[in-house]
Amino acid sequence: MWKLMISYLRPYKVSALLAPLLMLLEVSMDLLQPALMANIVNKGVIPGDLAYIERTGLLMIGVAVVGLLGGVGCTVFSTYASQHFGTDLRDHLFRKIQTFSFRNLDELKTGSLITRLTNDVVQLQTVVQMILRSIRSPLLFLGSLILALWISPRLTLVLAVSIPVLVVFLVLLIRKSFPLFGRVQSMLDQVNGVLQENLAGIRVVKAFVRAGYERKRFAGANGDYTKEAISANRLLGLNMPVMTLILNLSIVAVLWYGGALTSGGSLPAGDLIAYINYVTQLLFAMLMVSNMLTFISRARVSAARVQEVFDAQPDIVDPTGAQAKEPAAADVVFENVSFGYGEHPHADPVLSGISFTAKPGQTTAILGVTGSGKSSLVHLIPRLYDATGGRVLIGGTDVRDIPLDILRGMVGMTLQQSVLFSGTVQDNIRYGRPAAPLEEVTAAAKAAQAHDFIMQMPDGYETVIGQKGVNLSGGQKQRLSIARALLVKPRILILDDSTSAVDVGTESRIQAALKELMNRSTNIIIAQRISSVMEADQILVLENGSIAARGTHEELLRTSAIYQDIYRSQRKEEDTHAAAN
Please give the share of the chain, as a percent, with pLDDT higher than 90: 14
| CATH number of the domain that residue 383 is part of | 3.40.50.300
Please identify, among 247, 281, 311, the residue that sits at the C-terminal boundary of a domain: 311
Residue 94 sits in the same domain as residue 226? yes
Confidence of residue 578 (pLDDT cuts 50, 70, 90): very low
Flag whether pLDDT at 333 surpasses 90. yes
Query: Would residue 451 count as lying in a domain?
Result: no
Q: How far apart are CA 539 and CA 366, in angstroms?
A: 6
* Under 8 Å between Cβ of 437 and 487: no
Domain limits for position 298: 2-311
Q: Are strands 389-394 and 332-339 parallel, antiparallel or unpaired?
A: antiparallel
Q: Are strands 363-368 and 522-527 parallel, antiparallel or unpaired?
A: parallel
Query: Would residue 364 count as lying in a domain?
Result: yes
Residue 140 sits in the same domain as residue 287? yes
Residue 239 sits in the same domain as residue 337? no
Residue 102 sits in the same domain as residue 240? yes
Q: What is the mean pLDDT of the chain?
A: 81
Residue 120 sits in the same domain as residue 25? yes
Query: Would residue 434 count as lying in a domain?
Result: no
Residue 295 sits in the same domain as residue 342? no
| CATH number of the domain that residue 183 is part of | 1.20.1560.10
Please identify, among 311, 346, 381, the residue that sits at the C-terminal boundary of a domain: 311
Query: Would residue 322 count as lying in a domain?
Result: no
pLDDT digits (tens, 9 = 90+) for 277-316: 777 777 777 777 766 766 777 777 788 888 888 888 888 8
Cα–Cα separations (whole angstroms), residue 545 to 371, 383, 499: 8, 18, 23
pLDDT digits (tens, 9 = 90+) for 135-181: 777 777 777 777 777 777 777 777 777 777 777 777 777 677 667 77
Report the SS3 class of residue 148: helix
Q: How far apart are CA 313 and CA 479, in angstroms?
A: 35
pLDDT digits (tens, 9 = 90+) for 447-474: 999 999 999 988 889 988 876 677 788 8
- Structural domains of the chain, count: 2
Residue 204 sits in the same domain as residue 349? no
Query: Would residue 474 count as lying in a domain?
Result: no
* Under 8 Å between Cβ of 330 and 410: yes
Q: For Cα atoms 97, 315, 118, give the angle at the middle one, nearest 5 degrees.
A: 15
Flag whether pLDDT at 200 surpasses 70. no
Flag whether pLDDT at 579 surpasses 60. no
Query: Would residue 222 count as lying in a domain?
Result: yes
Residue 342 sits in the same domain as residue 265? no
Q: What is the pLDDT of residue 323?
A: 64
Count other C-beta atoms under 10 Å from residue 490's C-beta.
Answer: 22
